[in-house]
Chain A
């Protein structure tokens, strides 16, 4: 069946902002799907609120709507565009939920839009727990038994019937409080009693416990003619009980015999057929390690994080194929784009091992609970490919960029044995290193297996690495043969160096002398059975190299690695655009990256893809082989920037701004000198290497001060300090973070923050736009609401910003991108806060709203082209007719124990954009897209710090005027009352019941305004208020600036303005006509 001819226009729903559990994989899937549909001649309409995506680029879909992903806005787009079909299975859970809602509301019928791909009944069957279980029972596939009980006796009876252990989950409680695993009847009675008490509706769910079983996943595809294949299976190193997103995952499975492999494959096919999925789906099984007994745990009837991983692990483009299936094509009609010869109707065969490793945000959230369980906590992941498990695992570890290059974690070495054992049973993010440490201390595999439930096979492999390390350590040196063994096992040069007390460079040189270099093998979907065309490579210490250096002019682009707080999908956007620009300029582009969720690691993005760790050793190996004409480091975030020095030292040319000039911008002293020369002001301050030095600086410039370690990313360990005691405490904790760099102490200027992105060719400096932050300095720029064009800057200030930016760009000899952050002081003077001579996270947002292809221009400038020849000149570009508001999105609901208050440490995981001609509407759209639901009426709770009390009055007054009832704590209430606001006083937590938290839980508060105070007790109270609000889904605002913006949104909404939607392709139509 070729593609359907009755369809012409297809709409695709994206997944919105990046949050924990929904990351870049949907940009990868969506981009592939849109291109796949366009390839078949469809007109593609896309809606997605996330501007930092490739899929929302004008060349990916014909009509791109960056609008909120709510039924209301999707309906608006549907009504406006009237597509023939809607494809919802590529936008994660968001896409599926929207399709369900729209269908149930009758909107799809009314507009006459056909749902493409997997039918709705299927989605319901997979999503609704009861329907799902009923279907599985019908086809004879086992599910863990479960029951909902409201009486203790029933719980006990169930346990006696099916046996222990049981998982107890109270219905409707916060963060799963009161649940647990009961191993004995006594425990069951205890936990169930507690659960029943905590449950609002007095019910608990009892489920057969599958924790400890093997967790196995299959990626399955089915077309409309009922042809089915499995793309890949994956085995979680961590057993059931740890979310697969937080597990180390291996592809293909390692410990399953063919009987087990086929048992689960056959079950997978049976399930996808019974569900009637048309496209891809992910099926999770729990498999008993001691028998053929298994349970079906979950089915995702859509592309997912796992499908992105499976695609990158095998080379099989699941999303691309799923999109073609949705428009009627059959698997055997779709070409295998990797071989170019075979068809999509086959099962990939791997001749390598893939390891996926999660990247957790605990470096940012040092106080968060690091224990891993059923709630996913990682923000991103890396993937590594090797010819052995050890090689792939060690590559994955060094790809994480957590300062670890092998299996040795200094903290673990210090742990007493009891703690070590405890950490083995209660897993956290450091589990692998804890296991390694236990092996180092002589724990047996049997003991470890029983403590961790990790299959002995994996433990033996880790043990092999440890044993080899020990041998190297004892021998205190290595001959050529030992070195080759080490490299074939996957040990990094750095690990070898550490173990044998030489330097990493010496190891590299020794390798050079004996000609021990890795070869590059191809990922070809078929284990070399067919000749393949894809240039997708990984390294291995083998004999045959399959990637003869690319001929002609070529440039290597260093990617940005795993998604983490402070370094998100924006940098993948930049890397991809750089690659595209290079190719358009006739230069071959090689990309090096290790993040399987991204577009940059799609096999057809670059001329060559090296799926490798982004650390000096692996990058230099590739460069030595390819000998590119240059290396681009400015688009891959701090990951790539950090590689500039070693890459340059190894003799390769860094294209764009030089390493030395980048260093001037990052080195405090050099930068101060430059600013002085240029006469550009910055907040007073200095560098300090000790507590005394810091105190001296603070005394000189006066509190409050902003303190941070140098070489920052995402505001790590940055803090505003108001007094001496806090400064001393900060110095104690922060200096430990990075001992080689000083701590910077700056005067904290409480003013408006603005951000400028510029592109320079060394002479001309193009400034596409200035962005104004809603929140004043002190809130990390990544966590601020940003507005383009600025709404409150005077022409004089703008002029000064342009002048400073141009002069800084020239002084730093910037070639490519430059980002500067300024604060406008009370004297209306801009002060430079930070200069980043690289692409920033605002690039995609600004590129889209200004229509200026920033990365393309930057890449051209890097290659030596002149902006003037490309039609651009120095200075600020003309404003467009549309206003774009970037709103940050947080994942607080997923991370318990994390304070939601905004500060200089970045906490957001993603962003959305609201676009309109009118500021308030753009802000409204942005806020709606970010998931804020604003009560139009109800009760506002105000509890603010003393220093904010006066300033809080007008905005609270405004909301009271809009009809909100105001509650406040005593101090705040007093300030409000004296300004004539009617306020009801509420009790603080320590003042008895009913207090704030009680009222929040009772649903009596609809909106919270709480600003951070200092001092220990109140802070804890604030923390509890904020956490409770977040967990109950009540909007909690921690900045007065945000509150004012929201008040204007609420007001605009009340005035009932008619809101329209506009595609990206029309943002700049009017100027074009002028």
Chain B
């Protein structure tokens, strides 16, 4: 079966369909990770987006039962050069196509993904429509131009938990604001002995504090941070009352809570090879990224400083309050996919909790 992807700038890519039949629209973004497609597919932060993988062979090791980062896939479409139909790995349970079909996600294979990536790099991320039903270029382009922008969509409520739940632990208690949390954040906390109370995105500070947490984590999640202003309000109230750690969208929310400004990057950072420099120690870490927005460092108040920057393009990758126990990173210390270079941040958070408890 054939499928096509149309971009709002009028470009159309035709290829082979795999996974589910159908039609969907979203923001078209590219990811440069050479492994980790299962984690990408199940990372709720990709909600609202059609993901293009730059590595040409995707599906080589199948899909297993352990590496999903959430209950399902939230991508709006998946574009690859080649979708492997003969996976090989001891943990593989099903092929990529079968998995996508089960998730209702349409895949497009056989396109020049490098050409597509270069277009997105040059002109920025764009809206697009991926379809197996309508292969007419004009009609598809018109649809791409008519579909909503990423900003303004209620993506967080779509992916986040509706009700609080608890993952048991004994050493400390963390309230985790779920804006579309990756499960490995929970696993990283559990591994350190923490009890994790996962709460819905619209939880207020007051409600959160009722759990008497030792610390609060603001999770990753999809979309534009200005669409979750309510979270920034909650965060503002929590700052100073309890140690706070923001990850990705959580970091942007903290930026807003501090009174800062966020802005959209031309094509974002999505991959597992981004060098991030710790301004204090001078050390550089290779980190896992998935963000299309960033905090404007200039917009921050004096008591907040930029703790980490991206070595490639200088974007803000981490914030820290000078006096209060609050810090955040734009990247993913929980990895999955990606390097384990930044996992130490969870240890720092636990240490911070312990220091504040005394």
Chain A residues packing against B (C-beta within 8 Å): 225-227, 229-230, 252-259, 261-262, 265-266, 269, 289-291, 331-332, 341-343, 345-353, 387-389, 455-457, 460-461, 464, 521, 526-531, 542-544, 546
With A252-B34, A257-B35, A257-B61: A387-B273 Cβ-Cβ less than 8 Å: no
Chain A hits for B273, CB < 8 A: 346-349, 526
- For A545, the closest partner residue in chain B by CB is B115
- For B55, the closest partner residue in chain A by CB is A351
| The 10 A-B residue pairs with the shortest CB-CB distance in the complex, in nearest-first order | A544-B115, A457-B88, A258-B36, A460-B86, A527-B54, A347-B273, A258-B337, A258-B35, A349-B32, A543-B112
- Contact across chains for A528 and B90 when beta carbons are under 8 A apart: no
**Shortest Cβ distance from residue A937 to the other chain B in the assembled complex, whole angstroms:** 59
- Contact across chains for B60 and A457 when beta carbons are under 8 A apart: yes
- Contact across chains for B35 and A261 when beta carbons are under 8 A apart: yes
Chain B hits for A455, CB < 8 A: 88
- For A389, the closest partner residue in chain B by CB is B57
With A345-B275, A346-B274: A255-B88 Cβ-Cβ less than 8 Å: yes
- For A270, the closest partner residue in chain B by CB is B340
For the residues of A in contact with B, the DSSP-based class is loop
- Cα of A349 to Cα of B269 in the assembled complex, Å: 13
Q: Which of A266, A291, A464 has the most CB of B within 10 A?
A: A266
- Contact across chains for B275 and A526 when beta carbons are under 8 A apart: no
Is B205 on the interface with A (CB-CB < 8 A)?
no
- Contact across chains for A331 and B284 when beta carbons are under 8 A apart: yes
Chain B hits for A229, CB < 8 A: 275, 286
- Cα of A346 to Cα of B91 in the assembled complex, Å: 30
Q: List 20 A-B contacts (CB under 8 A).
A: A230-B286, A257-B36, A265-B339, A332-B277, A343-B275, A347-B286, A348-B273, A352-B56, A353-B57, A387-B81, A388-B81, A455-B88, A461-B86, A527-B55, A527-B117, A528-B30, A528-B54, A529-B117, A542-B115, A544-B118
Chain B hits for A353, CB < 8 A: 56-57
Chain B, residues 27-60, CB within 8 Å of chain A (1/0): the string is: 0001011111011000000000000001111001
- Contact across chains for B283 and A528 when beta carbons are under 8 A apart: no
- For A230, the closest partner residue in chain B by CB is B286
- Contact across chains for A225 and B282 when beta carbons are under 8 A apart: yes
- For B118, the closest partner residue in chain A by CB is A528
Chain B hits for A341, CB < 8 A: 312
Is B271 on the interface with A (CB-CB < 8 A)?
yes
- For B90, the closest partner residue in chain A by CB is A290
With A254-B60, A257-B64, A350-B34: A345-B284 Cβ-Cβ less than 8 Å: yes
- Cα of A690 to Cα of B24 in the assembled complex, Å: 72
Chain B residues packing against A (C-beta within 8 Å): 30, 32-36, 38-39, 54-57, 60-61, 64, 66-67, 81-82, 84, 86-91, 112-115, 117-118, 121, 271-275, 277, 282-284, 286, 311-312, 335-341
- Contact across chains for B283 and A255 when beta carbons are under 8 A apart: no
- Contact across chains for B336 and A258 when beta carbons are under 8 A apart: yes
- Number of A-B residue pairs with CB-CB distance less than 8 Å in the complex they form: 157
**Shortest Cβ distance from residue A720 to the other chain B in the assembled complex, whole angstroms:** 53
- Contact across chains for B88 and A456 when beta carbons are under 8 A apart: yes
With A389-B57, A544-B115: A258-B39 Cβ-Cβ less than 8 Å: yes
- Contact across chains for B283 and A225 when beta carbons are under 8 A apart: yes
- Contact across chains for B35 and A388 when beta carbons are under 8 A apart: no
- Cα of A684 to Cα of B323 in the assembled complex, Å: 96
**Shortest Cβ distance from residue A89 to the other chain B in the assembled complex, whole angstroms:** 22
Chain B hits for A290, CB < 8 A: 90
- Contact across chains for B32 and A529 when beta carbons are under 8 A apart: yes
With A258-B67, A529-B271: A460-B339 Cβ-Cβ less than 8 Å: no
**Shortest Cβ distance from residue A302 to the other chain B in the assembled complex, whole angstroms:** 22
- Cα of A289 to Cα of B57 in the assembled complex, Å: 20
Contact partner, B112, options A347, A526, A544, Cβ 8 Å = A544
Chain A hits for B112, CB < 8 A: 542-544
- Contact across chains for B82 and A350 when beta carbons are under 8 A apart: no
- For A456, the closest partner residue in chain B by CB is B88
Chain B hits for A259, CB < 8 A: 66-67
Chain B hits for A528, CB < 8 A: 30, 54, 114, 117-118, 121
- Contact across chains for B275 and A332 when beta carbons are under 8 A apart: yes
- Contact across chains for B283 and A226 when beta carbons are under 8 A apart: yes
For the residues of B in contact with A, the DSSP-based class is loop
- Cα of A36 to Cα of B179 in the assembled complex, Å: 48
Contact partner, A257, options B30, B67, B86, Cβ 8 Å = B67
- Contact across chains for B311 and A345 when beta carbons are under 8 A apart: yes
Chain B hits for A226, CB < 8 A: 283
Chain B hits for A350, CB < 8 A: 34, 55
- Cα of A265 to Cα of B35 in the assembled complex, Å: 12
**Shortest Cβ distance from residue B188 to the other chain A in the assembled complex, whole angstroms:** 14
Chain B hits for A258, CB < 8 A: 33, 35-36, 38-39, 67, 272, 336-338
**Shortest Cβ distance from residue A742 to the other chain B in the assembled complex, whole angstroms:** 48
- Contact across chains for B113 and A351 when beta carbons are under 8 A apart: yes
Chain A hits for B338, CB < 8 A: 258, 262
**Shortest Cβ distance from residue B193 to the other chain A in the assembled complex, whole angstroms:** 21
- Cα of A491 to Cα of B194 in the assembled complex, Å: 56
Chain A hits for B89, CB < 8 A: 255-257
- Cα of A529 to Cα of B34 in the assembled complex, Å: 13
- Cα of A783 to Cα of B74 in the assembled complex, Å: 66
Chain B hits for A529, CB < 8 A: 30, 32, 54, 117, 121, 271
- Contact across chains for B117 and A351 when beta carbons are under 8 A apart: yes
With A258-B337, A346-B286, A527-B54: A521-B275 Cβ-Cβ less than 8 Å: no
- Contact across chains for A388 and B82 when beta carbons are under 8 A apart: yes
With A332-B275, A350-B34, A544-B118: A342-B88 Cβ-Cβ less than 8 Å: no
- Contact across chains for A349 and B311 when beta carbons are under 8 A apart: no
**Shortest Cβ distance from residue A133 to the other chain B in the assembled complex, whole angstroms:** 24
With A290-B90, A387-B81: A346-B56 Cβ-Cβ less than 8 Å: no
Chain A hits for B284, CB < 8 A: 227, 331-332, 345
- Contact across chains for A332 and B311 when beta carbons are under 8 A apart: yes
**Shortest Cβ distance from residue B82 to the other chain A in the assembled complex, whole angstroms:** 6
- Cα of A259 to Cα of B275 in the assembled complex, Å: 20
- Contact across chains for B86 and A456 when beta carbons are under 8 A apart: yes
Contact partner, B312, options A227, A265, A530, Cβ 8 Å = A530
- Cα of A226 to Cα of B90 in the assembled complex, Å: 35
Chain A hits for B113, CB < 8 A: 351
- Cα of A290 to Cα of B89 in the assembled complex, Å: 8
Chain B hits for A225, CB < 8 A: 282-283
- Cα of A227 to Cα of B274 in the assembled complex, Å: 13
Contact partner, A457, options B87, B118, B277, Cβ 8 Å = B87
A256-B61, A257-B64, A349-B54 known; 5 new pairs, CB 8 Å cut-off, are A257-B91, A269-B341, A349-B32, A464-B86, A544-B115
- Cα of A331 to Cα of B283 in the assembled complex, Å: 10
With A227-B284, A460-B86: A343-B54 Cβ-Cβ less than 8 Å: no
- Contact across chains for B271 and A544 when beta carbons are under 8 A apart: no
- Contact across chains for A256 and B35 when beta carbons are under 8 A apart: yes
- Cα of A268 to Cα of B39 in the assembled complex, Å: 22
Q: Which of B36, B271, B275, B283 has the most CB of A within 10 A?
A: B275
- For A352, the closest partner residue in chain B by CB is B56
- Contact across chains for A266 and B340 when beta carbons are under 8 A apart: yes
- Cα of A546 to Cα of B118 in the assembled complex, Å: 10
- For A445, the closest partner residue in chain B by CB is B86
- Contact across chains for A544 and B114 when beta carbons are under 8 A apart: yes
**Shortest Cβ distance from residue B139 to the other chain A in the assembled complex, whole angstroms:** 21
- Contact across chains for A351 and B54 when beta carbons are under 8 A apart: yes
- Contact across chains for B335 and A262 when beta carbons are under 8 A apart: yes
- Contact across chains for A521 and B283 when beta carbons are under 8 A apart: no
- Contact across chains for A543 and B340 when beta carbons are under 8 A apart: no
- Cα of A884 to Cα of B277 in the assembled complex, Å: 53
- Cα of A257 to Cα of B335 in the assembled complex, Å: 13
Chain B hits for A546, CB < 8 A: 118
**Shortest Cβ distance from residue A182 to the other chain B in the assembled complex, whole angstroms:** 26
- For A265, the closest partner residue in chain B by CB is B339
- Contact across chains for B86 and A457 when beta carbons are under 8 A apart: yes
**Shortest Cβ distance from residue B122 to the other chain A in the assembled complex, whole angstroms:** 8
Chain B hits for A289, CB < 8 A: 90
Chain A hits for B39, CB < 8 A: 258
- Cα of A289 to Cα of B88 in the assembled complex, Å: 10
